[in-house]
Amino acid sequence: MDTPPVSEAVPKGRGSNLDLDSRFLDWQREPFDDGWDGADDAPAPATTLSIDSARTVITYNQSPDIPFDRSINPYRGCEHGCAYCFARPSHAWLGLSPGLDFETRLSYKPDAAATLRRELAAPRYRCAPIALGVNTDAYQPVERQLGLTREILRVLRDSHHPVSIITKSALIERDIDLLAELARERLVKVMVSVTTLQPALARTLEPRAARPARRLQTVRALAEAGVPVGVLCAPLIPALNDHEIEALLDAAAAHGAGSAGYILLRLPREV
């Protein structure tokens, strides 16, 4: 008797239909559809939050292909649910799934701002630009509730510390007041990631991120506030969105972007 196929439907509002176990576990599960329950009718998995009691918030790297040596990620996991996200495998380090768990089981660092203030004040600390929210978006939906990114920006402003930000979220407009203050001291650069101008493709690739037109409005709002802002065409996926580069650049320029960049698709392990 043949085994009934497991549903391949992606839960509504999510970017993955996979619930793979962490590769670091001693055991692995395999989905099995016995035909009795309607897997397609199952409710979309809810988002849960847990506390990450990190002792430090600045992460350092020495990778030759990354244009910064330090970063801050106030959250682990990302509710935007981008199907292509290179950070998904990092959830496996926690014993969680790089698939649905990455989008639904989030952790946050409630003391991030206080910890950052302490790290910046350390006698051995040497100032260099901090990249904010590069592993997971610092302005993902949960930031509206927790406000950790805004607290971090306050610390950076008070410390006159340079920062760069990459985001897909229009929520960054909430912090234009702080960003404008940093901009007056030439301490900030924002890159808004726009993967495609096609709404349907964006919904498939980035189900909970702002729609492309809304991101371009954010570019305009930042530019009008005097905040240096560019558009990041990322990721470029061969045969899927690479033909949109010229249109993306035209749209970016029309909305006030002062620069542009791109990142090719990265496919680490489970991605």
Structure confidence by residue, pLDDT tens digits, 181-210: 999 999 999 999 999 999 999 999 999 999
pLDDT tens digits for range 97-151: 888 899 999 999 999 999 999 999 999 999 999 999 899 999 999 999 999 999 9
Tell me which of 3.80.30.20, 3.40.50.300, 3.20.20.70, 3.40.50.2000 is the CATH number of domain 58-264: 3.20.20.70
Q: What is the SS3 assignment for 56?
A: coil
Domain boundaries in the chain?
A: 58-264
Backbone angles phi, psi at 3, to 5 degrees: -80, 130
111 near 146, Cβ under 8 Å?
no
In DSSP terms, which residues pair with 215 in a beta bridge? none
Average predicted confidence (pLDDT) for the chain: 89
pLDDT grade for 49, boundaries at 50, 70 and 90: very high
Q: What is the DSSP letter of 132?
A: E
253 near 215, Cβ under 8 Å?
no
Q: At what angle do helices 212-224 and 245-254 cross, to 10 degrees?
A: 40
3-state secondary structure 155-203: HHHHCCCCEEEEECCHHHHHHHHHHHHHHHCCCEEEEEECCCCCHHHHH
Residue entry with tokens 């371009």: 216
Question: Measured over all CA atoms, what is the biggest interatomic distance in the chain, rounded to whole angstroms?
Answer: 70
pLDDT grade for 96, boundaries at 50, 70 and 90: confident
Prediction pTM value = 0.85
Please give the full DSSP string across 208-228, using - where no structure is assigned: TSPPHHHHHHHHHHHHHTT--
Distance, in Å, from the CA atom of 183 to the CA atom of 187, rounded to the nearest integer, reads 6
Strands of 48-51's sheet in order across: 48-51, 105-108, 75-76
Cα-based angle 159, 167, 117 (whole degrees, multiple of 5): 20
24 near 94, Cβ under 8 Å?
no
Q: Please name the helix (run of DSSP H) or strand (run of DSSP E) that holds residue 72, with its range, or none.
A: strand 70-72
